Amino acid sequence: MAELRTASTAPAAPVAARDRQGRPLRDLRVSVTDRCNFRCVYCMPKEVFGKDYPFLDRGEILTFEEIARMARIFRELGVEKIRLTGGEPLVRRNLEQLIEMLARIPGLDLTLTTNGSLLKRQARALRDAGLKRITVSLDSLDDAVFRRMNDVDFPVARVLEGVEAAAAAGLSPVKINMVVKRGENDASVLPMARHFRGSGHILRYIEYMDVGHTNGWRMEDVVTAREIIEMIGAETPLEPVEPNYTGEVAERWRYRDGSGEIGVIASVTQAFCRDCTRIRLSTEGKLYTCLFATGGHDLRALLRGGASDREITDTVTGIWAKRTDRYSEIRTAQTAKLQKIEMSYIGG
Ligand code: SF4
């Protein structure tokens, strides 16, 4: 008798909304701030994002309560993973309070992408608040190259301290993301591989992308995934590994000698739109169905206009159901010039 009762009272598993290409909605990326303490040349070039740049005011950005409400609604729509991004998420004060709220949502995989600059100080608190995993962006071990790329003269050593603090706090394996740009840091590819091989951390190389419309992207500056794998494999043999799940962004490779794994994120040369299950919520509550979108959908007006959860759920379902995005499959030199939304605003 008891068994029967339990079966009928268990909450039904959320049914994933599907887009025009049948892709389920699984991953929500939430940008908690449009601000950053770095000025990475491929994301937030200083000449555009200078001291007079009109960043969003406090009243314009979603509160933690609003983000948590949206997260619950997305969970009901089948979202299994939330990645907190920015700008630089750790510059948003008391972020661990938001993480505590999100960690209470059952069945949610909670992760965060950071530039690591503030991680040494915050790693323990993030973990204690309920963060499960973390990704740290690091574009070189060469201090001069790294300082030039972050363009705020920030030293590598402090990011590496952040990585170790995250691992010590239990946020491991730590994923390390390196954007590779030809003529900028491609000479750092092998030193990064040597440093993280055998460390237990997972290094992923990202092809330089035409995100936003201010980084002056050119195809000739892209070091392809194939070049990167050949470069590393020539030194330490690699073999491909099956993805952990459908829609995983990074293509996995492991060292044949068992000393670890790396990944390549090849949005430019090996588009993965076919399995893209990601949606993005900007700092001020706009929804974007693609990293390379040119426009979004305002949800903040609903949140602050008294809309019910049902109304917001229906709106989001409607937006996703109409989704046809596959930008990386149709990228050209012309599309690269479109007024696309900045990555620093909607998160990577
Ligand atoms: S380009 Fe857009 S649709 Fe394609 S994988 Fe990236 S976010 Fe998804």
Read off the CATH number of the domain in which 238 is found.
Answer: 3.20.20.70
pLDDT computed for residue 17 by the predictor:
80
Indicate whether 8 belongs to any domain: no
292 lines ligand 1 (CB under 6 A): yes
Indicate whether 64 belongs to any domain: yes
pLDDT tens, position by position, 205-250: 999 999 999 999 999 999 999 999 999 999 999 999 999 888 899 9
291 lines ligand 1 (CB under 6 A): yes
| Mean pLDDT, range 103-107, rounded to an integer | 96
Q: Give me the chain's average pLDDT, please.
A: 94
Query: Structural domain of residue 95, as residue ranges?
Result: 22-346
248 lines ligand 1 (CB under 6 A): no
Indicate whether 12 belongs to any domain: no
pLDDT computed for residue 6 by the predictor:
45
Nearest CA residue ID for atom 2, ligand 1: 290
Q: Please check the confidence at residue 4 and state whether its pLDDT lies above 50.
A: no
Indicate whether 14 belongs to any domain: no
pLDDT computed for residue 5 by the predictor:
42
Pocket perturbation via mutation, ligand 1, pick of 25, 210, 276 by most ligand atoms within 8 A of CB = 276
Phi, psi dihedrals of residue 175, rounded to the nearest 5°:
-95, 140
Please report the atom of ligand 1 found closest to the CA of residue 272.
5
Q: Report how far ligand 1's centroid is from the alpha carbon of 47 (Å).
A: 27
278 lines ligand 1 (CB under 6 A): yes
Listed residue (139, 273, 265, 260) closest to 204, CA to CA: 265
Indicate whether 169 belongs to any domain: yes
Q: How much is the pTM?
A: 0.93
90 close to 119: Cβ distance less than 8 angstroms: yes
Nearest CA residue ID for atom 3, ligand 1: 326
Task: Please count the structural domains in the chain.
Answer: 1
Indicate whether 295 belongs to any domain: yes
Indicate whether 2 belongs to any domain: no
Indicate whether 5 belongs to any domain: no
Pocket perturbation via mutation, ligand 1, pick of 251, 267, 322 by most ligand atoms within 8 A of CB = 267
